[in-house]
C-alpha cells in the first residue's frame, strides 16, 4: 500500500539529496548521515522517518519534525539536531557546565564563538544539546518549552 | 466502602495486597538506546544525584530515587523515559523484531510505542494510533524526544482503524486504572461495575478490530492496568473463537494466572494463560496482559 493518495495529499515526498544538501551547506553534515531515512514536506515543515513503505492511511505525523521552513532561513528542530547534529563540522557552539545549564533552561547568554550568525548545533562534552540561534555574540536557546529544565512540565506517565 | 474488597477471593495474600496499596511507589524509568548507551545514561543520572537501581527482570528498567525525575537532564535529552515498571511488560510480550510492521492501537503518551520502536532498532514500522486530538501532542513529543523515527502517528477510533495487515498489534486499552492506585488513590473513587461494563464494550470492540487487522498467525497483545475481570479475562474470552492464547512468563517477575471463574460464572479454562500482576508480588502497580495468536 505504499504512497496512497491520502499519504501524498498531506505529506509530500522530498528527495533525500535535496534535504541532505541543506544540512551539508549549513552544518557540513555528510549526505550518508541521511541514508536509511525518507523525507516528507507538510505545510512549512520537513519530516524524517525510517525508510519503510507506509500503508495508505491518514497520518498526523511521520517520524520526527526535522526542519521549519517558515522563516527567512530554515530552522532545524532540537530533536533532529540531537539525532543528526553529531556529525556537524561547522556552525557549532561548545558550552561549559554553567552555559549548558542556562541553555537547557531556555536562556539567552553572551558567548564568544567563531560560528556564523544563524542556527547552530549546541554541544556540551561532545553531546548535542539542541538548537541555538547565534547572533552578535549572543546564543539564544531554541530548546522547546516541554524539553526545558525550567518551568512546568508533565512528568510522570504510565 | 472499599472497592478493592471485591477482589478478596481472587487476589492471593489479599491482606498483603491491601497493605501494598499504602506504600509509596518510587518513580521508574527506561533507558532509551535509540539516543544513548546504557553507561552514558547512568553517568548522567549519577552526576545529577539521582539514585538508579536496575530492575532484576529488565536491565533497561530503573527504579529512580529522585524528586523531580521528569526534570532530570537525562530525561529532557531523551536518554531515559519516565515509565511505570509494569508498563514495560506488554512490549516485551509483543516481542517486536526489526523490520516488522506493528500497530499500537491506543498509543498515547507513547511509553510503549517508543519501547517497541527501540526494540526494533528504528527499523520496520510502528503505527501509533490515538483517537484523542489532545493526546496526540504528548505522543508526538515523546516520540521526537526519544528519537523513535520509525513511528507514524494516526488518529482513528481504534474500533474502526481501517486496514492492515500487521505482524503484531498491541491493544493497551483504556481501563478503570485500578492498578495505578498506588500513584493516585483517587482512581478507585471513580470505579463501579457499570463503568467497567461500559469500558468492556469499548475494549471488546478494540480487541476484535485488532484481531481483524493482524495477519493470519499474527500476534495481538491485550493489556490493561486494572484488576477488574470485566475488563480483562471477560474481554479476552470474547475473542477466543478467533485466536488462541499463549502463556505469559517474564523471568524475574512474579505473575498470577488469569482467573477462570468470576461472580459465580465459569470462564474459559484457557484464560489461565493470561497474566495478572499485583503490587504486593513485585512492589509495583497492577497490570493484566494476554498474548493472543490469530487463527
Determine, for residues B149 and A50 on separate chains, whether the beta-carbon distance falls below 8 Å: yes
B70 touches A153 (CB < 8 A): yes
Residue environment code for B86-100, b if the CB has 16+ CB neighbours within 10 A, otherwise e: bbbbbbbbbebeeeb
pLDDT, average across residues B18-32: 95
Determine, for residues B82 and A62 on separate chains, whether the beta-carbon distance falls below 8 Å: no
Q: What is the pLDDT of residue A2?
A: 46
A156 touches B183 (CB < 8 A): yes
Q: What is the pLDDT of residue B287?
A: 98
Residue environment code for A113-133, b if the CB has 16+ CB neighbours within 10 A, otherwise e: eebeeebbbbbbeebbbbbbb
Q: What is the pLDDT of residue B67?
A: 82
B262 touches B287 (CB < 8 A): no
Q: Answer whether residue B85 shows pLDDT above 90.
A: yes
What domains can you pick out in chain B, each with its CATH number? 3-25+86-294 (3.40.50.150)
User: What percentage of residues in chain B have a pLDDT greater than 70?
Assistant: 100
Known catalytic membership, residue B175: no
On chain A, the residues whose CB falls within 8 A of the CB of B150 are: 49-50, 52, 63
Contacts A–B by Cβ distance under 8 A: 112
On chain B, the residues whose CB falls within 8 A of the CB of A157 are: 82-84, 109, 111, 138
Q: Which of B177, B160, B167 is nearest to B232 (CA)?
A: B177
Q: In what helix (H) or strand (E) does residue B282 lie, and over which residues does it extend?
A: helix B279-282
Round to whole Å and give the CA distance between B143 and B155.
15
Determine, for residues B163 and A83 on separate chains, whether the beta-carbon distance falls below 8 Å: no
Å between A39 CA and nearest CA of chain B: 11
Q: In what helix (H) or strand (E) does residue A158 lie, and over which residues does it extend?
A: none
Which ranges constitute the DSSP H helices of chain A?
5-10, 16-27, 78-84, 97-104
| Mean of the per-residue pLDDT values of chain B | 97
User: What percentage of residues in chain B have a pLDDT greater than 90?
Assistant: 98
Q: Coil, helix or strand for A75?
A: strand
Q: What is the pLDDT of residue A150?
A: 80
Report yes or no: B124 at the A interface, CB cutoff 8 Å: yes
Å between B269 CA and nearest CA of chain A: 30
A81 touches A26 (CB < 8 A): no
pLDDT digits (tens, 9 = 90+) for B105-123: 999 999 999 999 999 999 9
Which ranges constitute the DSSP H helices of A49-145?
78-84, 97-104
On chain A, the residues whose CB falls within 8 A of the CB of B153 are: 59-62
C-alpha cell at B2: 472499599
Query: For residue B46, what are the CA distances in angstroms to A67, A127, B61, B66?
Result: 33, 17, 16, 11
- pLDDT tens, position by position, for chain A (158 residues)? 444 444 444 899 999 999 999 999 999 999 999 999 999 999 999 999 999 999 999 999 999 999 999 999 999 999 999 999 999 999 999 999 999 999 999 999 999 998 999 999 999 999 999 999 999 999 999 999 989 988 644 443 34
pLDDT digits (tens, 9 = 90+) for A24-49: 999 999 999 999 999 999 999 999 99
Q: Answer whether residue B208 shows pLDDT above 80.
A: yes
pLDDT digits (tens, 9 = 90+) for B57-77: 999 999 999 888 999 999 999
Q: What is the pLDDT of residue A151?
A: 62
What domains can you pick out in chain A, each with its CATH number? 1-77 (no CATH), 91-158 (2.30.130.60)
Amino acid at each position: 500500500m505504499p504512497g496512497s493518495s491520502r499519504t501524498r495529499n498531506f505529506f509530500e515526498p522530498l528527495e533525500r539529496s535535496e534535504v541532505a544538501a541543506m544540512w551539508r551547506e549549513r552544518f557540513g553534515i555528510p549526505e550518508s548521515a541521511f541514508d536509511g531515512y525518507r523525507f516528507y514536506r507538510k505545510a512549512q515543515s520537513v519530516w524524517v522517518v525510517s525508510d519503510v513503505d507506509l500503508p495508505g492511511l491518514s497520518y498526523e505525523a511521520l517520524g520526527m519534525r526535522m526542519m521549519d521552513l517558515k522563516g527567512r532561513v530554515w530552522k532545524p528542530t532540537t530533536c533532529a539536531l540531537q539525532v543528526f547534529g553529531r556529525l556537524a563540522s561547522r556552525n557549532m557552539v561548545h558550552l561549559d557546565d554553567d552555559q549548558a545549564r542556562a541553555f537547557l533552561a531556555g536562556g539567552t547568554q553572551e558567548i564568544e564563538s567563531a560560528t556564523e550568525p544563524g542556527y547552530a548545533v549546541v554541544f556540551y562534552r561532545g553531546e548535542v544539546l539542541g538548537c541555538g540561534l547565534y547572533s552578535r555574540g549572543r546564543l539564544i536557546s531554541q530548546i522547546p518549552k516541554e524539553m526545558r529544565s525550567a518551568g512546568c512540565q508533565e512528568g510522570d506517565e504510565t | 466502602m472499599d472497592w478493592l474488597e471485591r477482589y478478596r477471593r481472587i487476589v492471593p495474600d489479599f491482606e498483603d495486597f491491601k497493605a501494598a496499596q499504602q506504600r509509596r511507589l518510587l518513580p521508574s524509568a527506561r533507558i532509551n538506546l535509540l539516543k544513548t548507551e546504557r553507561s552514558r545514561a547512568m553517568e548522567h543520572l549519577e552526576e545529577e544525584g539521582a539514585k538508579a537501581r536496575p530492575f532484576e527482570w529488565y536491565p533497561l528498567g530503573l527504579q529512580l530515587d529522585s524528586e523531580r525525575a521528569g526534570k532530570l537532564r537525562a530525561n529532557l535529552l531523551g536518554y531515559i523515559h519516565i515509565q511505570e515498571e509494569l508498563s514495560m511488560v506488554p512490549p516485551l510480550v509483543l516481542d517486536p523484531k526489526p523490520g516488522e510492521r506493528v500497530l499500537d492501537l491506543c498509543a498515547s503518551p507513547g511509553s510503549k510505542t517508543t519501547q517497541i520502536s527501540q526494540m526494533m532498532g528504528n527499523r520496520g514500522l510502528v503505527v501509533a494510533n490515538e483517537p484523542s486530538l489532545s493526546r496526540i501532542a504528548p505522543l508526538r513529543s515523546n516520540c521526537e524526544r526519544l528519537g523513535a523515527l520509525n513511528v507514524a502517528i494516526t488518529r482513528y477510533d481504534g474500533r474502526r482503524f481501517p486496514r492492515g495487515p500487521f505482524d503484531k498489534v498491541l491493544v493497551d486499552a483504556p481501563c478503570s486504572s485500578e492498578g495505578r492506585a498506588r500513584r493516585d488513590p483517587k482512581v478507585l473513587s471513580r470505579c463501579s461495575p457499570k463503568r467497567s461494563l461500559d469500558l468492556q464494550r469499548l475494549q471488546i470492540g478494540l480487541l476484535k478490530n485488532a484481531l481483524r487487522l493482524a495477519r493470519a498467525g499474527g500476534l495481538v497483545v491485550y493489556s490493561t492496568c486494572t484488576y477488574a475481570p470485566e475488563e480483562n479475562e471477560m474481554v479476552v474470552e470474547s475473542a477466543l473463537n478467533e485466536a488462541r492464547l499463549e502463556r505469559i512468563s517474564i523471568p524475574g517477575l512474579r505473575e498470577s494466572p488469569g482467573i477462570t471463574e468470576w461472580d459465580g460464572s465459569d470462564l474459559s479454562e484457557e484464560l489461565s494463560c493470561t497474566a495478572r500482576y499485583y503490587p504486593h508480588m513485585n512492589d509495583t502497580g497492577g497490570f493484566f496482559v494476554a498474548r493472543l495468536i490469530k487463527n
